[in-house]
Structure formats: structure tokens, C-alpha cells
Amino acid sequence: MPDCTKLAVQQDDPNRKAVDDLLAKIAKNHPDGDLALVEKAYQFANRAHAGQKRRSGEPYIIHPLSVADTLADLSLDPTTIAAGLLHDCVEDIEEITTETIEQEFGSEVALLVDGVTKLSRLDFTSREEQQAESLRKMFLAMGKDIRVVLIKLADRLHNMRTLKYQKPERQLPIARETLDVYAPLAHRLGIFAIKWELEDLSLRYIDPEGFYQMVELVGAKRKEREHIVELVVEQLREQLKSAGIHCDITGRPKHLYSIYKKMKTQHKSFDQIYDLFAVRVLVDTVPDCYATLGVIHTLWTQVPNRFKDYISMPKGNMYQSLHTTVVGTTGELRGQTFEVQIRTWEMHRTAEFGIAAHWRYKEGKQADKLDDKLYWLRQILDWQNDTRDPSEFMDALRVDLFADEVFVFTPKGDVVNLPRGATPIDFAYRIHSAIGNKCVGAKINGRIVTLDTPLETGDFVEVLTSSTSHGPSRDWLKLAATAEAKSKIRSFFKREQHDENAEKGRDMLEHEAKRLGYSLGQLTRPEFLESIYRRYSLHSLDDVFVTVGFGGLSSSQIINRLAEELRKTTKAVEPPPEIKPVAPNPPKDDKRSGGHAQQGVIVEGGSGMLVRFAHCCNPLPGDDIVGYITRGRGVSVHRRDCTNMADMLLEPERFIPVRWESESGAGYEAGIRVIANDRMGLLADISVMLAQMEVPIVAVSARTDRAARQQKNTTTIDLVLAIRDTGQLEDIIKRLLRRGDIIEVFRTNS
């Protein structure tokens, strides 16, 4: 790798103009900013990425430069922009570590770079686990410095702008993650300029037909709408001038995804969507906002139930504005429906740039602590420690962060904002854990309701408590919509019912281990458990039992990881001298050793011996195998990495050399597990694919895992297939993974 520490500016650098423009933009926003730091970061990144290309064919440095430019557009400080230039160095270049960045640029830049560095795929058993743990790491870093997520959003924005260069099978998962995680995160932070673009870019790949239909429909009457906007702006400007209100008025079309989403959720055609554009009025003061509202309602007719006051009740992302929908009554505006948004200049800056507009840093100083405007982030930091299952973590993020909000009131009139779909249980735990734990009922608007009743904006909610209550019910975990409430309910059971949770967790782990062909004792060796303790911040096997028992981790998550540790150990065990490793599929003329073939396996010197395949590991042609002489049942053939190898090595004299008979043509049974997004016809499509490959299905079972409210379910399909060898099995797995709705495929011992 080139020496990244040399700082001489290259005069023939093709990116020099882009760098100079970036520095000029930073200097305008931060006259006293450390431009030398940004220049140094660029030179370092340019040398680090030398020779690397993006899939578009462009030099890789174009990507960090684009990220830095977006951060500069958000008026962020030089430290953040330097980190944006360096954000891929640790992830993509082995020789560069977080320590390297800290030595060259200081701890503040290193913290930001480390926060956006994804965790290695090799450390996880599935893409979902990697995604969940990388996001968990990012949120923890956000708790220390919110600028981490601003860099991540700028990074994702440029990746989405260039997504067309990715392989088709990668485009859909990236677009789906963007729409599910990053666009709503931008919404939560109030950065609408990025949110809208991420949504439109995602739609292009998630539903290409729907996207281009929107483009065509919106473009068809563009000139007509532009004329209407001009009339609205002209009439309103004249009336506000007469009222003595200084203002700036602009009109803009609604972005494509918002129209698409409204058509889908409200089951309307494009012609039934009336507010296809919005008019924005910027004024000097809050009183001017309400005065402008009066002028608008005098000029045009208000649509009932379409007025929203986000000034007196700001959204959780700090957004403030007055929204009203009106209908023209005269002239060319007669019958035209449109939305008007009214806010001050300062509110508008927040509406465009969100948290970036409020988060000010001074060079060399630590960021201030999170204030009430980031309450939702503190909640994530609180509950993420109790939500270790990757599926549950992702579901919780979608519900807590990305749902629409409802605003409800306490009996004293205080406002509480919760995600849409929240119940009185969520309200109770938002007020206080003690209120939630003692809750026995609830009233909404003075009427007693069940605890699963969804809350609506404007509801007055009263929690009924009892000092004799024994605490929450486990069923509440299904009724609560927020991760905050679920976390506090689990904490109660974790604290109050330790012994019950430990017993339940042990039973669940034993059942899962047995289902996969192991004993729990076989998997819970101290050296195997160390990886569990490190990954999940646990301290003992009892902690593992309790955590599984109260639902913090799933039994399959623990057992799969322990089984992987066992497989690593057995692979590392040297076989006794009597067993000589045999290369798979030896040449046909190698039969001169006198071995006898049964079921496609040659047993060296064992003519006439019964041969059977071990069910604990189900060896296939292509697997490295060993033979083990059983008592009365002939030779049992095992994979060399079989989980039972350690036990068999206690009697090494019972091993016998075996190898595969070349081109035996025999059929072998192999188990695979497919985890996919649930949909109609999925199993049928898989069956057709296997039939086309001439692979018989010996057995099949499927179960659907219900996801959090309003989210996609997943299905787990276990298949036993008749195949020729491991090569064919690997081909099947690769083909399955190419399908967009399949999340994970792996071989089992079934």
C-alpha cells in the first residue's frame, strides 16, 4: 500500500478542482475551520485507495469525495468532513486500522470512522446477524457522537445514486435496507433533503414498474400544475403583502415515493390524489405563522380534519410547521386541492437539515450530551442491550424508529409522542417503569379499554394501577408495540423470575441442541462458551440460560454458534496415525488397494463389512471422511469435521481408512435449511427449481415465523434432498441464494 502519510499536494490530481470546491464550501460555512485537516484527510484517503475502482469504473476516491461534499452541504464541521473522506479506509484496506487513523488525525476523527465501519461478514452466521450487529454498533457510536449517523447517511446516499452499477441480485437487498432503515433514520433526524432522495432511489429498484409509472404520471401534467402553483403563489404573496407580513413563497411537487405510498396505503388511483404539490411559506416569527394561516383560510376553503399544528406540538425529529390543506373556489383555482406549509426561517433550516442544523461543534471539544430532542436515540441505547436476537432487533428498529407518530395526552395535559400502533402498555412504560409494572387497565378519553387498544392522536390516556399487582404478563410482549416497553417488561421478568427463566432457558437450549443432533453438555464446554460471553456481554452459563428464558436471545442463535465452535475444534483435531487423510474422489484405478466398495465408499482392507452413513453429520461425496468400526453395525462413515469426532478419538484403534468410490453414481441424502421472506408460492418455486436441476426432494417441512406488527413474516423450510455429491449441493445453495426473497441457506445434519 502507498505511504498515506505523505502530504504533498499532487498538481496533476484530476480531483483537484473537486477538492478545492469542497474546501471553499467548508470555508464559507466555517470561516475559522481547520481546512488543513480536510486536505490531509483527502491526501491520506487518495493514497490509501490508489488503484481501487468502483463498480462504475470510476476511481474509488470519487466515493469519499461525494460523501464529504454531502456533509459540507449539511454545513457540518471540518472534523466530520475529514472523517467522511476517511470512512472506508479501515473497512477496505487491511493495513489501516482505527489506531492508524487516531495516530494521524486524533481520537475524534477515529471515533467517527470506527462508528461507520461495518463489522466483518466472516464474524457472523447470517447476513441478518451482521446487519443487526453493525447497526447496533452504529447506534452505540451515535450515542457518543451523533455525527456518526450523518456520515453513514451521506455514504448510503452516494451508494444509492450509483446502485445501477451493482449486480442485479445485490440491488434489491440494498434498496430494501435503505427504505427500511436509512430513509426512516433520516426522517427521525429530520434530514428531509436526504430522506426524500433515498426513498425515491429505493423505489426505483424495489418496484421499477411502480417507479416509472410515477415518473410518467407526474410528468404528464407537469406544466398544468406549474401554472396552478404560480397562481397560488401570486395570490398569496399579494394578500400577505397587504397584511404586512414579510415572506418567501415557493411551490414544489410532492416527491414520487410519497405519492406512491399514498396510492398504496389509501388504495387510490393517481387521479384521486389531489395534493400533488405543496406551497411553502417562510416568515420571520411564530406570530407571523399563525397570521399567515388566517390569511390562507380567508383566501381559500379549508379541508376539514387536514390541519396540523407541529409548532405547538413538534415532531420527535424537531420538525415544526403549520400544515393546512385548502381548496380553491374561484377562477382557475376552482376545485384545485393543495397543501400549504407555514414556518419560520429557522424552522425551515431544521426541516431541511434536521439534527445537522442544531448540532454545533467547536474544534477540539467533545460533543454535548444528547438532549431531549434525541430521546428516541437514548431509548435505543437503553433497549438494545436487552434485544440481542438480530431478527427482533431489526423488527424493533422498524417499529420504534420508523413508524408514523401519534400524539396523546396524560390526564394533566402533557403531550406524549409514540409510534403509530402503540397501546396503553407502551404509554404506561413511557411514563415510568413502575407505572407499567403496576398497570391493571387503562382509560382512553374517560372510557375503560382493553390494553391492546391502539392509541390515536388527541387521545387522553389514563393508566389504572394497583399496589397488589404482581407485575406484567408475558402476553404483554405481544401487545406492546415499542421496544422500550418490551425491554422494560423483559427486565422485570429477568429480575423477578430468575430461577424460572433459567429453567425455561435450559429446557429451550436442550430441545434445540437435540433437534440438531447434539447434547447440551457436548456444546457447553467452557472454551465454546467464551465466544458467547464475549459477543453478548454475558458472564456465566446461568446468564445464558436466563437470557434465553426471558427472550433476550433465541435458543437457535446460541446453539448454532456453539455448534460452529465445536466444528472448528473438531476440524483442528489431528487424526490418529492409523487414519490417513484421503483426497475426495480419487482416480478409478486406485482400487488396486483391494478395498471393497459399498454405497459408493471403499473400505480399505474391509471386504464384506457393512457400511452405513452416520446421521450425526450426513457425509456426502466430496466431504473428507473417516471410517469408524461400530459394535455390531459395521463401519460408520463420518465427515472428518463431525461434531462427534472428539468422542471417537478416545478409541483410535476403531478407525479404519475409507474413501469415496469415484463416479459411483449413487444418490445421497443431504439436509438444507432455507430462511426466506414469506410469500405465496415460495415452496412451489423452490420445488420447480429443484425439479429443473433433477434433484429429488426426499422430505420437506416448513414453518412461518410471525414478525412484528405490519412487518414481513419469514419462513423456515427444511429440505432433505437426494444428491450426487457436495459439488451439486453447493450449486443448489448458490442458486437458491440468487433469489431475491431468500435470506439464508445452509447445510444441516438432518
Is the CB of residue 659 less than 8 Å from the CB of residue 702? no
Segment 648-676 shows an average pLDDT of 72
Lowest-pLDDT range, 126-130, 226-230, 429-433, 486-490? 126-130
Predicted confidence at residue 676, as pLDDT, reads: 85
Interacting residues of 25 by C-beta distance below 8 A, sequence separation 6+: 69, 72, 73
Beta-ladder partners of 252: 278
Segment 674-694 shows an average pLDDT of 82
CATH 3.10.20.30 in the chain, residue ranges: 403-495
Active site residues: 91-92
669 SS3 class: strand
Predicted confidence at residue 675, as pLDDT, reads: 87
Domain over 403-495 is classified CATH 3.10.20.30? yes
Segment 333-354 shows an average pLDDT of 85
Measured from the Cβ of residue 112, the count of other Cβ atoms closer than 10 Å reads 27
How far apart (Å, rounded) are the C-alpha atoms in residues 603 and 601?
6
Predicted confidence at residue 625, as pLDDT, reads: 83
738 sits in which H/E element: none
pLDDT tens-place string over residues 189-199: 778 889 889 99
Segment 512-531 shows an average pLDDT of 82
The CA–CA distances, whole Å, from 490 to 475, 498, 512 equal 11, 11, 22
Q: Which amino acid is it at 667?
A: G
Interacting residues of 594 by C-beta distance below 8 A, sequence separation 6+: 604, 605, 607
Maximum separation of any 2 CA atoms in the chain, in Å: 107
pLDDT category at 540 given cuts 50, 70, 90 is: confident
Is the CB of residue 385 less than 8 Å from the CB of residue 396? no
* Architecture of the domain delimited by 16-191: Orthogonal Bundle (1.10)
How far apart (Å, rounded) are the C-alpha atoms in residues 254 and 686?
40
**Order of strands across the sheet that contains 655-656:** 611-613, 635-639, 625-629, 655-656
Is the CB of residue 444 less than 8 Å from the CB of residue 453? yes
Q: How far apart, in Å, do the first and last CA atoms of the chain sit?
A: 47
How far apart (Å, rounded) are the C-alpha atoms in residues 76 and 318?
18
pLDDT tens-place string over residues 36-84: 999 999 999 999 998 888 888 899 999 999 999 999 998 888 999 999 9
Query: CA neighbours within 13 Å on the CB side: how many for 258?
Result: 14
CA 49-156-351 angle, 5° bins:
130
Is the CB of residue 750 less than 8 Å from the CB of residue 670? no
How far apart (Å, rounded) are the C-alpha atoms in residues 619 and 617?
6
pLDDT category at 187 given cuts 50, 70, 90 is: confident
pLDDT category at 382 given cuts 50, 70, 90 is: low
* Short-list 686, 694, 741, 685, CA closest to 718: 686
624 exposed, middle or buried (CB, 10 Å; 0-12, 13-18, 19+)?
A: middle
Q: At what angle do helices 483-496 and 541-550 cross, to 10 degrees?
A: 130
Predicted confidence at residue 117, as pLDDT, reads: 77
Class of domain 668-748: alpha beta
pLDDT tens-place string over residues 556-601: 888 888 888 887 776 544 444 333 333 333 333 333 334 445 567 7
- The string of DSSP codes covering 63-122 is HHHHHHHHHHHTT--HHHHHHHHHTTHHHH-TT--HHHHHHHH-HHHHHHHHHHPPPPGG
CATH 3.30.70.260 in the chain, residue ranges: 668-748
Which residue's entry shows cell 455514504? 155
How far apart (Å, rounded) are the C-alpha atoms in residues 172 and 175?
5
Computed on alpha carbons and rounded to an integer, the radius of gyration of the chain in Å comes to 31
Measured from the Cβ of residue 673, the count of other Cβ atoms closer than 10 Å reads 14
pLDDT tens-place string over residues 699-722: 888 877 654 444 467 788 888 888
Predicted confidence at residue 579, as pLDDT, reads: 36
Predicted confidence at residue 376, as pLDDT, reads: 54
Class of domain 215-353: alpha beta
CATH 3.30.460.10 in the chain, residue ranges: 215-353
Residue 91 Cα to chain centre, angstroms: 18
Long-range own/partner contacts, residues 221-227 (CB < 8 A, 24 or more apart): 222/253, 225/253, 225/276, 225/277, 226/251, 227/332
When comparing pLDDT for 725 and 3, which is higher? 725
Q: At what angle do helices 222-242 and 208-220 cross, to 10 degrees?
A: 60
DSSP at 340: E
How far apart (Å, rounded) are the C-alpha atoms in residues 559 and 416?
41
pLDDT tens-place string over residues 282-340: 999 999 999 999 999 999 998 888 888 888 888 766 788 999 999 888 888 888 888 89
Prediction pTM value: 0.54
Is the CB of residue 424 less than 8 Å from the CB of residue 444? yes
pLDDT tens-place string over residues 203-243: 999 998 888 888 888 877 778 878 888 899 999 999 999 99
- The string of DSSP codes covering 594-634 is --EEETTEEETT-TT--EEE-TTT---BTB-EEEEE-SSS-
CATH 1.10.3210.10 in the chain, residue ranges: 16-191
